Amino acid sequence: MLSTLRNAWRIPEIRKKMIFTLLMLLVFRLGSAIPVPYMNKDAIKAIFESNQGGLLQFLDLMAGGNFSKFSIFATNIYPYITASIVIQLLTIAIPSLEEIAKQGEEGQKKIGRYTKYGAIVLALIQASGYTFGLFSGALETTNALQTSIVIISMIAGTAFLMWLGELITEKGIGNGVSLIIFIGIISALPAELINMYKMVRLGLINIVAVILFAIVALLIIAAVIAIQEGERRITVQYAKRVVGRKMYGGQSTHIPVKVLMSGVMPVIFASSLLALPQTIALFTKGGVSEWITKYLTPQGSVGVWIYSIFNILLIIFFTYFYTAIQFNTVEYAKNLQQNGGFIPGIRPGRPTSDYLGKVVNRVVIVGGLALAVLSILPIVLSKIFGMNVNFGGTAIIIVVGVALETVKQLEAQMLMRHYKGFLK
């Protein structure tokens, strides 16, 4: 990874993209320091201290610390992620949306627009919930205009992050939205480590449990790298063709079917959806909040198991869902047939499509299950050993996965420029 970054830095065009990406992420971190007006910071701090090791800490970790600071990015990029899940599911369910999605680049622009509208609506609901519900005790407004400014500030923060993510994807390196989540989680890591060190010093956590958790974290990192790099190679043979006096084709190659084509998106999507019950628990009071906390969140005695089961099911579902979008077996089989390619022992056309579908399904289930188990393992271990660790499997998988995907994009761009230079 370090050698890739060093080699990429030497290429002027890629260096500009890397610098641009770093500057945009710096803008995100600077924006995280801008507080929402008319909010009492001491009251917000008191709310977080009263919920030490609870739901707020996990949501704050995924928001990159913007939640506890109650900055303009308090609602973060997650309304956009939730909206994109909803729109993609509706695209399958509603024929008119499916037709729009098939209209090429213009259709994708329309779908992107609908996603942004949905994100703004969700950000409005979330910002209103924070203002009038969870943090109503910290609100220091005297009229409707000031209250509107509080809500609009958070909605504008989410809209800005959507724009920033697209800008990074277009002009920088890597997926902009994933990098924003990545840098947010990374920024919270030092505080988490310091907090764990203090708890060990005070005797609140057993040092053996911390060492065990560190070993599990290292194993998760190694496993994520192995899954991301793993692939099943399907041999493809191209038939010989005589054109004039020359013979073309006859070579053998392979189709690389990645164990994890979807990357870390299933984990991001699953964590975004599973955060909804936790958010609702924060907005409600009394019996409803207690029931949600006990049965639907990892902080509950029963909820940790229900949460883990739903986490596994959602990650596997989104792994299949994203793979189906990225790898269309029917189109792949058609392209192979048109170019004179075939899989040895498999007839072209429908049999090839069925065979590719069977292989992809077998590979995907391995990747999905592995991701799901790795994401819940630290949660279960934390519950068994009585550790309040927010930096769990989900955060580790996202960080490692995004880092690997970004480095791969760098390698792809370096390879492309190498070939360009060769052709010149």
User: Which residue is listed with tokens 């060190």?
Assistant: 197
Angle at 233 between CA 227 and CA 239, to 5 degrees: 160
| 370 CB-near residues (< 8 Å, 6+ apart) | 223, 227, 259
pLDDT in 10s for each residue of the chain, 424 residues: 677 778 888 888 888 998 999 999 999 999 988 989 998 888 888 877 776 555 676 677 767 778 788 889 988 888 898 898 888 888 877 888 888 887 878 888 888 899 999 999 999 988 888 888 778 888 888 889 999 999 999 999 999 999 999 999 999 888 888 899 889 888 877 877 787 788 788 877 778 877 887 887 888 888 888 888 888 888 888 776 656 666 555 677 788 888 888 777 888 888 878 877 777 776 666 677 778 777 777 767 777 788 888 888 988 888 888 888 778 888 888 888 887 788 888 888 888 888 888 888 888 888 888 888 888 877 777 766 666 555 566 778 888 888 888 888 888 878 776 544 433 4
pTM of the model: 0.77
- Rounded Cα gap, residues 102 and 88, in angstroms: 13
- Given a contact cutoff of 8 angstroms between Cβ atoms, the answer to whether 242 and 418 are in contact is no
pLDDT given at position 424: 40
- Rounded Cα gap, residues 396 and 394, in angstroms: 6
Instruction: Tell how far CA 38 is from the center of its chain.
Output: 32
- Rounded Cα gap, residues 383 and 83, in angstroms: 32
Angle at 183 between CA 365 and CA 278, to 5 degrees: 65
- Rounded Cα gap, residues 384 and 212, in angstroms: 12
- Rounded Cα gap, residues 262 and 323, in angstroms: 6
Domain ranges (residues) in the chain: 32-172, 183-424
- Given a contact cutoff of 8 angstroms between Cβ atoms, the answer to whether 174 and 405 are in contact is yes
- Rounded Cα gap, residues 44 and 137, in angstroms: 8
176 three-class SS: helix
357, with CB counted inside 10 A (0-12, 13-18, 19+), is: middle
95, with CB counted inside 10 A (0-12, 13-18, 19+), is: exposed
pLDDT given at position 391: 59
- Given a contact cutoff of 8 angstroms between Cβ atoms, the answer to whether 378 and 389 are in contact is yes
Please state, as a whole number, how many other Cβ atoms lie within 10 Å of the Cβ of residue 396: 23
Q: What is the amino acid identity at position 252?
A: S
Instruction: Please name which of 388, 404, 384, 406 lies closest in space to residue 396, comparing C-alpha atoms.
Output: 404
Q: Which two tokens stand for residue 173?
A: 């390196």
- Rounded Cα gap, residues 241 and 201, in angstroms: 74
The widest CA-to-CA distance across the chain, in whole angstroms, is 86
pLDDT given at position 250: 61
- Given a contact cutoff of 8 angstroms between Cβ atoms, the answer to whether 286 and 392 are in contact is no
Q: What is the amino acid identity at position 402?
A: V
Candidate CATH numbers 1.10.3370.10, 3.20.140.10, 2.102.10.10, 3.40.50.880; the one for domain 183-424: 1.10.3370.10
349 three-class SS: coil
